[in-house]
Amino acid sequence: MAYRPFYPVKIPLSPTFDTDTGDLPLDEYRARAKELVDWIAEYLGHPERYPVLPPLHPGETRAALAAEPPDDAEPLARILDDFNREIVPRLTHWNHPGFLAYFANTASVPGILGEMLATALNTNAMLWRTGPAAAELEQLTTDWVRQLIGLQPGWFGVITDLASTSTLYALAAAREADPALDIRRKGLAGRDLPALRVYCSDQAHSSVHKAAMTLGIGSDNVVNVESDAEFRMIPAALDAAISRDRAAGHRPIAVVGVLGTTSSTSVDPLAAIADICEREHLWFHVDAAYAGVAGAVPELRHHFDGVDRADSLVVNPHKWLFTPMDCSVFLVRRPEPLKRAFSLVASYLETAEQDAVVNYMDYGFQLGHRFRALKLWMVLRAFGARGIAARIRHHCALAAEFAGWVRAEPGWTIEAPHPFSVVCFRHGAGEDDATVNARNAAILDRVNTSGEVFLSHTVLKGRYVIRVAVGNLRTERKHLHRAWMLLKEAAASV
C-alpha cells in the first residue's frame, strides 16, 4: 500500500504548502534555489557591496524583526526579502576581502557546494551504518590533510566543529591515557588524587584553559610557561615547571605546544618539547589551528620539526584551508585513549559490525556526527595540493609586503616575527606604554569605522598591537594597501 501522510491533508497552511509531503513543493525549491545560487554568485562577485564591519548598536537586528513566530505559513519570497533587508547588512562579512581581523578565512566555491550537499543529505554519521560513505570519507580526508601538511603515516582522524573541541578531546584522551586513574568512572572529586597539571606557553589559546575547566582539571592547573622575546615557549622553563610540580606531588599529564599562536603566529620549539614529553611520559598535543595548513608549503615545513612526535594535533580547515565554518581536523596517534575517554555504547546503538568499523560516536562526547568531510574533500580536490600551496604562499607574500611598508615608515614598528600571513605592529615609540597602547586602540577604532577593512588587535607582553591577518582568497594587494593608507591617516589624526 502506498504511503499516505496523515497530517496536513485537510489543513491548507499556505497556498504553497505541499499536501503530499508536508514540505514545500520541489518546483518552489527549484525556483528559489536558482535565485539563491545567483544571489551567492553576486555576493561572492561583489564582496565589497556591504561594509565589512557595519556600524550598529546592540539590539538593532532583533528590534527590526518580528518578536513572535508566525502563526501561518509565510512565503519564502517574503522570508528571503527580510534576509536581504534586515540580516545581510547587519552582518560582519567574513568573506569580504577587507576582512583582515582575527584569522581571516574563506568560504570557497567548492566548500559552499559541499556544504549545500551535506545539508540536503542530512547525514548523521554517528555510526558507520548511519553514514557508511561519510564515515569512510572522513577517514580518507583527514588522512589527506595529514599528507598535505607533511606528517608521517599512522594517525587517526576525527573532524570536529572547532579547535576548542579538538583540544578538549586531546586533553580528555591525555587524562584517560593512564587507565589507573580511572577518571572516566570515578571522576576527579571526592577521592585521593593529585592535581593533574597541563602545560602550555603564556601565548597559548584560551581553549586550553577552557578545556581544563570543562574536564574538571581546573584552570589553575594549566601552567602558563614563560615565552621568549619571540613569543615561543622556553623549554627550560617547561622543564623547571614540571620538576617543581612533581616535587609538590602534582601529576603532570600533558603539554600543549602551539604551531602558530593566535596573537603573533609564533611557533613553539616543538622538537625540544617532544624531548621533554617523551622523557616525562606526557601527552604532547600540538595546536596548529591556523598555521597547520602551512605544512602544504615545502619552504614552511621547517616549522613542523618535532610535530611527528606529538600524540595529537589540531588544524582547522575553516581557518586557512578555504573550507566554510565549521571544520576542525583532529589527528591522534593512538585512538585508544580517545575511545576510552568517550565510548559508551547504549544498547540501541549496538551494531553487528561495530568491531570492524569506525563509529564516530566512540571518539567524542557528541552522538551525532555532521558530514563535514564532504566539503573538505571537495575543497582539497578542487584546488589540489599545489593550488593550496600557491594560495598559502601568496598570502604569506602579501603579509610580508605589508610588513615591509610598516617597517619602512618612520614612527611605526613591527612587533613580532611574521612567519606566516599575520603581521603585528604599532605606531609610536618613546612614550610610556599606556599612552602608546591607547593611541593604537584609537587608530584601530578609526580604521574599523571605514567599513572598508576590519583589523583586530592583541596584547603582546603588555604592548597593545594592531594585527593584520591575510587569509581570504579575494584579498588582494590593493586591500592591504588601502588598509595601510587608512592606518597612516588615522595615526596622523588621533
Contacts with ligand PLP, residue ranges (CB under 6 A): 103, 162-164, 205, 207, 258, 260-262, 287, 289-290, 316, 328
SS3 243: helix
Task: Give whichever of 116 and 325 is closer to ligand PLP, judged by the CB atom.
Answer: 325
Smallest separation (angstroms) from ligand PLP to the CB of 160 = 9
Task: Give whichever of 359 and 421 is closer to ligand PLP, judged by the CB atom.
Answer: 421
Rounded CA-CA distance 114/373 in Å is 9
Task: Give whichever of 268 and 452 is closer to ligand PLP, judged by the CB atom.
Answer: 268
DSSP string computed for 463-494: EEEEEEE---TT--HHHHHHHHHHHHHHHHH-
Smallest separation (angstroms) from ligand PLP to the CB of 162 = 3
DSSP string computed for 100-161: -SSS-----HHHHHHHHHHHHHT--TTSGGGSHHHHHHHHHHHHHHHHHTTPPS--EEEEES
The residue among 294, 226, 288 whose CA lies nearest residue 258 is 288
Q: What angle do CA 306, 421, 311 make, to 5 degrees?
A: 25
Task: Give whichever of 105 and 450 is closer to ligand PLP, judged by the CB atom.
Answer: 105
Rounded CA-CA distance 319/205 in Å is 15
Smallest separation (angstroms) from ligand PLP to the CB of 418 = 15
Task: Give whichever of 141 and 207 is closer to ligand PLP, judged by the CB atom.
Answer: 207
Rounded CA-CA distance 354/421 in Å is 43
Smallest separation (angstroms) from ligand PLP to the CB of 289 = 4
- Bond prior to 245 in cis (omega within 30° of 0): no
Smallest separation (angstroms) from ligand PLP to the CB of 147 = 22
Rounded CA-CA distance 353/85 in Å is 51
Smallest separation (angstroms) from ligand PLP to the CB of 132 = 28
Smallest separation (angstroms) from ligand PLP to the CB of 1 = 50
Q: 257 phi and psi, to 5 degrees?
A: -100, 145
Task: Give whichever of 329 and 388 is closer to ligand PLP, judged by the CB atom.
Answer: 329
SS3 430: coil
Task: Give whichever of 310 and 491 is closer to ligand PLP, judged by the CB atom.
Answer: 310
